[in-house]
Amino acid sequence: MSEQTTFDVIDSVLGLGAGSELKALREKRDKLKALTQSSYLAALRPKEPRNFPYALRAAIAARMCGLWKVDELAAHYRGLLEQEGATPELGNVADAGWTPGDAPSRLTAILRHVDLVTLKPKAATRANIEALYAAGLDDRDIVTLAGLIAFVNYQILVVAGLKMLRDN
């Protein structure tokens, strides 16, 4: 197996090394662990990033982790953003407290949607999807964004749950 498939983000951000009881517990569900890591690669490092470059994906993921105050995972994504070529704008995107302002733009629409679906998913409506279309996203872009949001929120919940087990 390659390093990319054997490395596990969740083990890494939680500091789970050999001999860790929590790591042993995770390895009892090795298929789920492997599927989670391959979902990570699909969401953050697909072969064709299309209109969502790797750095933007990392910045959005860092932002989402910041919204939930999952600092270990946010730090992972900020590190990934640095590896992918952070720009000042993407550094702002990664900051959960930064808002792009009211000027209508593709980035504004994306971040409003990311923040809404991350913090208040039940409040999302067809109008929010229409705002993404109006900002120039197509069906494939919207599905890509939805997949990224869904995966990172899942990962945040897994890390939070495992962190509670680890710390208690």
Query: With helix as H, strand as E and coil as C, how does 23-60 read?
Result: HHHHHCCHHHHHHHHHHHHHHHCCCCCCCCCHHHHHHH
What amino acid is encoded at 102 in this protein?
Answer: D
Q: Predicted confidence band at 3 (pLDDT cuts at 50, 70, 90)? A: very low
pLDDT tens-place string over residues 33-88: 999 999 999 999 999 999 999 999 999 999 999 999 999 999 999 999 999 999 99
Give the position of tokens 């999807």. 129
- The Cα-based distances of 119 to 89, 97, 113 in angstroms read 22, 13, 10
pLDDT tens-place string over residues 86-99: 999 999 999 999 98
The CATH number of the domain holding residue 103 is 1.20.1290.10
Q: Name the percent of the chain lying above pLDDT 90.
A: 89
Number of domains in the chain: 1
Residue 37 structural domain: 3-167
